[in-house]
Structure 1
Amino acid sequence: MKLAKKSLIALAIVAGITGQAYAADQSTATITQSGTAEVATVTQTGTLQTATVTQSGSANLTAIIQTGTGATGQTATTTQSGAVNAVIVTSTGDDNTITSTQNGSLNSETIAVDGISNTVTTNQDGFVNESYTTTLGDGNQIDVVQDGNFNDNNVSQDGDNNTVDVDQIGNSNSTTTEQIGNNNFATFQVDGNGNDGVIKQTGDNNQAGLLSAGFSLNNGNNNDVSVEQIGNNNLGGAIGLDGNNNNVDVYQRGNDNQSIVYSLTGSGNDVDVDQIGQQNAALLSMASGDDNNVTIFQDGNNNNVGAGLIAVLDGNDNDINITQDGDNNGTNFTIDGDSNDATLTQTGDQNIANFSAIGNDNDITTTQTGDLNLVDLLVDGDLNQSLIAQTGNSNRVGGLSAFSVDGNDNRLDIAQNGNRNLVTGSQSGTGNMIDVQQTGNLNVANVVQN
């Protein structure tokens, strides 16, 4: 695009073109130029087309092509100040409004609209910013702000009443947004350098993006957010990435799924969420620290991780890996400390796992296969290891309250194979070990170590 842009400007300068307007009946084209080697062309077909071009500086290029298909008319307004900026506008349809403002040098824009009542507003301020927007449909809206250098934006809309809001403040930020369907909303608002956003929405009424906890510009550098939504009424993205080098990747296929990473604080965090099915939710709140890795996969319907924003990470080097395969499963966790590892796998329906690890170097592994199983575990101390495996239906670890492990160097191994087995109790002290194995049905074990 840069080579093509420079070639267009060079051709226009050689040809000696300073301003040309080809207007149809009842259409208006106004070109105002102050500077040197400014180039502007306006071509209008149809009635009540309005084009306004204002250029100041040197060697700026504007090309507007309006093709009207209705009685309302279209409006295109471009303003350029600086040197060697370029904007190309192609507008087809009726009641479309395009506004472009460029200030700086070597900025380029391509805007293409085909439909009715679409609105595109772009603002570039800086050096070598690029923006490409394409809209096909009715009632769509695109707002783009680029303030800095070497920012890149690509937007494609195919459908009706879609909205894209992009703010790139800083340098070398990149955003790609694709919307296919109706009533989708995408936003990427950053203040920093080297941030990348990719948002793909296929379906209706989806919402995705990145913005701050105050619903404004997100501050930070080299943060990457990728959201792909296939279906309807899905919500995915990140609210508040405070720090640098954070990565959030969300994939949703189905309807009414939710995945939100809220207030991720620190550096080097990786969050990957895959949801396949209907009405699944993964909500990660107050993830604080460095080098946290969270991988969540849900396949089924009505599964929840961190319902009510209970999923919390606070510390360094935490690894969380959660897989839920089935329907109506739930997981809530709280990690507070350093170097904690938690792995959870639930296969079946209506299984619940609640665990909390407060301390350092805790390992928690929970595997539940069957239906209506429950794990409720609280660990408080250092170097604790917990391994729980339940196969069958209606098995429980923890009764009316959580099974508590409190102290240092504790190890807890529980295996239940059968139906309606129960383990309750607690550990408290140093160097304790528990190994409980139950096979069969209706077994009860109450273990207390103090």
Structure 2
Amino acid sequence: MKKVILCAGALMFGAVAFAQQNTSTGSQSGTSNTGDVYQAGTMNKANLVQNGTTNASETSQFGADNLVKVDQVGTSNTSSAIQEGGSDNKAYVDQDDLGNMSTIIQGTGMAAVGNWAKVTQSGSTDVLTGNYAKVKQTYDQSKADVNQSGDSNMAKVTQVGKPNQPGAPNARFPRNEADVDQMGTGNKARVNQESYAVSGAKNMATVYTDGIDNLAVVEQIETQGNRATITQENNYAEAYVDQDSDDNKATITQTGDDVDLVAGAGDKAYVHQMGSTGNNAIINQESIDPYGDPGSYARVLQDGADNLARVNQTTRGQEAFVHQMGTDNTVDVSQSGYSQYADLYQNGSDHKIDLTQGWSQGSAIISQFGTGHTATHTQGGGGSNSFTALQEDFPGQGTLDLTPEVRTTPSGY
């Protein structure tokens, strides 16, 4: 085993220097090498290139305006970068091949803003051994980019804001921003964002997956004005968005093709926006299935006032379930194929439902409890449609169902 320890930009084995603007550059080739870099101060740079298998890189920087760059080519390599105690740090990790792992931790220990983490992992689609990327950023105005290609990859981004962080957000980023791009099959992506700011730009999460058996999860809590966008192409993808507070927006777009897949499954999308006002949930699903198997499934749960749930589904065999509690909420569901099903429920006052089913064999149930509700439904001319509406001018039974069966938590994390 070969091991390199670099401290504060020089090959040192004694006391640690705390000088500023130091640079460490290293290169290793072969198997089972380790490279450790420790730097304290500001404007330090650490560069390490490793070419081979089962190599390990560990970098620790304490201070502000520091930079880490790690390039690893080969299989089963690991990279760990910790940037603590300062703002405007950057960590870039590039791993080429399969079975690699990258961990980036920024902003621990002290308040830190404006950190940036970027992980690029490229693997072969011929092998089912995937890569794993983990990013954790503490405090505000951070950005994380994760790009993965190949099979069986996993990405997890966690961003936690500081309570009562003073001052306006940095102009470069919103409160926190996470971008995850995955190309291949069997991918998993999870983004957790939490911030306690009461003004200014908030969190943004964007997840793009392309392949089979994908899963994407976004959780944004304790902050107003969050944005979550999940785009998945191909089938068997599942998307979950959980937003807690006001004026949030979630958009899920799923396009699938079941031709080469196992029968009986389609895309699934879940949006939970609880106890808040002015939220928007938008789900777009298109499932192309020549065998007549079940298509896409959409579920939206909203509790509060002035919320909007919009579901657009095309082709056939798809289901939409929307459940709203509160006042002045709106449901807009459009299903343009045949054999579609909609179950729409509202409880409270002054709600509105607009449902369109565009072809044949459509089925719909509308339930509205309370006062001041309106419901409009249109079913196409293909025939064999059915519709049931229930409107009662008193509050319905119970509260919004949050049992595990309804408020689904994905496995694998």
Q: TM-score, normalised by structure 1?
A: 0.40
Q: Which has the higher strand share?
A: 1
Q: TM-score, normalised by structure 2?
A: 0.43
Q: Whose RCO is larger (CA < 8 A, sep 6+)?
A: 2
Larger Rg: 1
